[in-house]
Structure 1
Amino acid sequence: MSVRKRRWKTKEGEEREGWLADYRDQGGKRHQKLFARKKDADAFLAQAKVEVRAGVHTSESQSPTVAQAAALWLSDREANGLERATLAQYRQHVDLHINPVIGCVKLSKLTTPMVVDFREVLRSGDATLGPLGHPRSPALIRKILTSLGSLLAHAKESGKVFGANPVRELARARRAGEERGRDRLEIGRDIPSRDEIKRLLELIPSDQEPILLVAIFCGLRASELRGLRWSDIDLKFGEIHIRQRADRYCKIGPPKSKAGNRKIPVPPGVLKRLKAWKLVCPISAGTLVFPSPSGLVQHHSNIVRHILNPALMTAAIVNGDGAPKYGLHSLRHFFASWLINRTRDGGREMPLKAVQVLMGHSSITITADRYGHLFPRGDDAAELADAERKLLG
């Protein structure tokens, strides 16, 4: 491995000079890279030595672009039989958000600071991207970065690139506290408050009540609500068993994960309302609990447009623009907060593991990352002083 000065003439006869970093990778293949300054060549070669020694170096000439890696990742997801709706969402992340901004970047040159810059473009928007340059929501940004991290991991597993995954590095930094709380779910902004839920339940029309009650007090995902059958509800013992869900195309399939197949207790008031609803529920081929008026699987947008939004407007639960303040998933967030809140505050005061099981999360880490900050904390100073006294006698 060496750095040496190189001089040459252009086609126009102009003399040029630069510094050439010459090295061999872990497979013995020779590579050369030209730099305008010697210190840049030295820095590159020093880093290349470390990566070659560790067996994780990828030369720029061998590295695919982000767009090429994304295409391979999507093909692999499709070949593995990924759910149609999920695959469509991944394609949107790639085509509408990732490729327009960083698609032409070589994976070997993609760094954590570049991912941070990419995230800032998503947050603030970029006029140079035209219609695609609008600011994205925090929730959408998280999903886009997850897709980017997944496609980078796939490229690494496939041997297309080596070294650290900059998206995962950024996630580790965030967990370490560098950006803790920036996109944290908040009561009254992302999660309806108890007073808002109380007002909603007082004013909700009777024909809109059952599905919202189940969403609020049982925490089902929208897809699980839409795919719920009467055979999945034990009206005698008050229990819902999640066995299937309906995707965005109204196709019935299995739960989102193994953890999604779960049993959820139904509060007595909700159970009473469900028994009354069963007597007037529209008939459907799949004996659905919440079918459309014609007996088909309801579209998510129809539930929001014709049930949730009118209920929120009636209860005056709106934002500064006078639009409905919450989406359907916010009711699931409320359910999680209700499980976590102390009993003296009207909650159920459940431990983290129990919350994970009832929410149907595939990992307790998901539950902790999303809702851990909602768990009540005691008087840390008083508890610390008491522990010190007990330890020291």
Structure 2
Amino acid sequence: MATFRKRKNGSYEIKVSCGYGVDGRQHNQYKSYYPEPGMTPKQIEKEVNRQAILFEEECKRGQITSAIKFETFAEQWLEEYAKVNLRATSYSKMIQVTKRIYPALGHKRLDKITSRDIQKFIIGLLVDEKNLNNGKPLSRKTAVHHLNFISDVFSYAVRMGMLSDNPCRRVVVPKTEGTEKEIYTLDEVKKLFSNLSNEPLNYQMYLTLAIYSGFRRSEMLGLEWKDIDFDYNTIKIRRTSQYTAEKGIYTDTTKTKKSQRISKFPETVMELLKSFQQEQSKEAERLGSKWEDHDRLFTKWNGAPMHPQTPYKWLRDYCDRIDIPFRGLHTLRHLHASLLIYEGMDVVAVSADMGHSVVGTTLNLYSHMFQEARARNCEAITNALRFTNEAATEENKSTAAEATSSDEDEDE
């Protein structure tokens, strides 16, 4: 509710109560009103009441917060909500994006940040900012991560009754050229496999399994030997292996419940797994007490869980050695999905195989691939029914020949 009082200088202070902040204290918004010269006391009273109502409505539309700075409130959100509710890896990513967000928006009051301010920041990321590791322009996905952080902070402020509107809902991350992820071509995959026998067996196993399974990197590194069923040629995903600078390498649950799944594999993959298991057992026996038994498939030299960056670095160097473009590690998962789609598997089956929580995720990621597959289906039907066209053509030719013969008979 709005109230007002007259100051000694003749102006009026209008106050609107804005509820309570995360610090437990009541917060108010203030506005000053200066009457126009020559106004009568009755006119002033009427106008002050009108200004008070307008100011209260303005507060309800989204400006009902204290003068807290964005960085201060974001740090409170990280401590009160993110640290408690998010996975350690997600929390770590949130901390990373603050390095660019705080210098741009951190000093501004939460209630003074507009949709336009955030939109300009997002555009600036795509136009002006560079990747700190390789100097390349930031990807659209990175810009989305930054916007998600800002939006989460504002959403928390809305839930706490400090704001009534999240300005991020009007912000758009523009599409950039070349955002479609390139995957390895079949010729490149053939080259990957043809040179693989010269590589250590653990990396042979990793690459083979990654392509045949489509497992996420964290799922691959979380695999344990008890997840392998050699009788039925199946592998079960039950856990993931994660890493943050604070916690180091640790075991976590899968991304979603549907990520826990069982996949069946051909005999060639299972035979390679058996050879890999035998080699690992011999190495464990050789190292004796130095070997750490974690039952993991992919390990460091001493049996400890492999660092998530290790397969990435190996594949990058391997691609360089055999002279093919390095398209990243996660694109092996996209390659697996594309092969399934091109072989005619429906979206529900692909979604289950990939461990997506909802089918919509699969459609969003691979919509263009399904469209291409449907186009090929049309061509396949056309090819399959080509005999009908050929028969029609022959019939037309025969009819034309008879007509010509009949004409000649008439001429004679």
Give the aligned partner of residue 52 of structure 1: 57
Is residue 248 of structure 2 the alignment partner of residue 245 of structure 1? no
Residue by residue, what CA displacement relative to the aligned partner does 1:239-287 show, whole Å, maximum 9, x if unpaired? 2211111111211122122222222232443223222222112545121
Letter in 1 for 2:159: E
Query: What is the TM-score of this pair, normalised by structure 2?
Result: 0.68
Alignment partners' CA distance in 2, 1:330 and 1:269: 22
Q: How far did 1:294 drift? A: 1.3
Task: Find the aligned partners of 2:193 and 2:12 in 1 and give their Cα distance.
Answer: 72
Question: Which residue matches 1:294?
Answer: 302
Contact 2:18 2:29 in 1 (8 A): no
What is the alpha-carbon distance in structure 1 between the residues aligned to residue 144 and residue 188 of structure 2?
A: 27
User: How many angstroms does 1:49 deviate by?
Assistant: 5.2
How far apart, CA to CA, are the structure 2 residues paired with 1:314 and 1:254? 35
How many Å apart are 1:237 and its aligned residue? 1.7
2: CA distance, partners of 1:353 / 1:34: 62
Deviation at 1:80, TM superposition (A): 2.0
Give the distance between the partners of 2:232 and 2:185, measured in 1 at CA.
29
Partner of 2:381: none
Residue 110 of structure 1 and its aligned partner are, at CA, apart by 2.7
Residue 75 of structure 2 corresponds to 71
SS of the counterpart of 1:251? strand
Match of 1:193 in 2: 185
User: What does residue 304 of structure 1 align with?
Assistant: 312
Show the 5 A alignment for 1:93-132.
Answer: 93-94=97-98, 96-125=99-128
Instruction: Give the partner amino acid of 1:356.
Output: S
One-letter amino acid of the structure 1 residue matched with residue 347 of structure 2: L
CA distance in 1, matches of 2:13, 2:170: 27
Instruction: Tell me the secondary structure at the aligned position of residue 357 of structure 2.
Output: coil
> Gapped runs of 5+ residues in structure 1?
2-8, 10-18, 36-44, 319-324, 344-348, 383-393
Offset of 1:219 from its aligned partner?
1.4
Q: Find the partner of 2:369 among 366, 370, 374.
A: 374
For 2:330, the equivalent position in structure 1 comes to 329
Does residue 152 of structure 1 match 2:154? yes
User: 2:160 & 2:29 partners in 1: Cα distance?
Assistant: 22
**Contact 1:240/1:264 (CA < 8 Å) preserved in 2?**
yes
Instruction: State the distance in 1 between where 2:29 and 2:299 align.
Output: 64
Q: 1:134 to 1:330 in 2, by over 3 A?
A: closer
CA contact (8 A) 1:85 1:247 kept: yes
Find the aligned partners of 1:374 and 1:51 in 2 and give their Cα distance: 52
Spell out, residue by residue over 1:1-24, the C-alpha distance to the aligned partner (whole angstroms, 9 max, x if none): 9xxxxxxx9xxxxxxxxx999685
Report deviation, 1:53: 8.2
Kindly name which structure, 1 or 2, has the bigger radius of gyration based on alpha carbons: 2
Counterpart residue number, 1:263: 262
Change (3 A) 1:30 1:166: closer
2: CA distance, partners of 1:99 / 1:57: 22
- Gap regions ≥5 residues in structure 2: 2-8, 20-26, 35-49, 285-291, 379-412
Q: How many equivalent pairs are there?
A: 328
Which residue of the other structure, out of 343, 346, 351, is the alignment partner of 1:356?
351
The corresponding residue for 2:93 is 89
Structure 1 residue 293: deviation in Å?
A: 1.8
- 4+ aligned runs moved over 6 Å, structure 1: 19-23, 25-30
CA distance in 1, matches of 2:32, 2:347: 52
* TM norm structure 1: 0.71
Q: In the superposition, relative to structure 1, how do residues 54 and 335 fare at CA in structure 2: closer, same or farther (>3 Å)?
A: farther
Partner-residue secondary structure (3-state), 1:57: helix
How many Å separate the matches in 2 of 1:113 and 1:196?
45
2-side partners of 1:209 and 1:20: how far apart?
Answer: 77
The 1:272/1:231 distance shift into structure 2, 3 A limit, reads same
Query: Does the CA-based 8 Å contact 1:353-1:364 persist in structure 2?
Result: yes
Where do 1:133-152 residues align within 5 Å?
135-152=137-154
Q: Which amino acid aligns with 1:315?
A: I
The percentage of aligned residue pairs carrying the same residue is: 24
Return closer, same or farther for 1:259/1:379 CA change in 2, 3 Å cut-off.
closer
Contact 1:138-1:183 within 8 A present in 2 as well: no
Alignment-mate amino acid for residue 308 of structure 1: L
Q: Do 1:222 and 1:329's aligned partners in 2 also have CA atoms closer than 8 Å?
A: yes
Residues 264 and 379 from structure 1, CA distance in 2 versus in 1: closer, same or farther, beyond 3 angstroms? Answer: closer
Counterpart of 2:189, as a letter, is I
Look up the equivalent residue of 1:251 and give its one-letter code.
Answer: Y
Aligned-partner residue type, residue 322 of structure 2: A
- How far is the alpha carbon of 1:379 from its aligned partner? 6.0
Q: Closer, same or farther in 2 for the Cα pair 1:106/1:29, shift >3 Å?
A: closer
3-state DSSP class of the match of 2:263? strand
> Does the aligned pair in 2 maintain the 1:244–1:254 contact within 8 Å?
yes
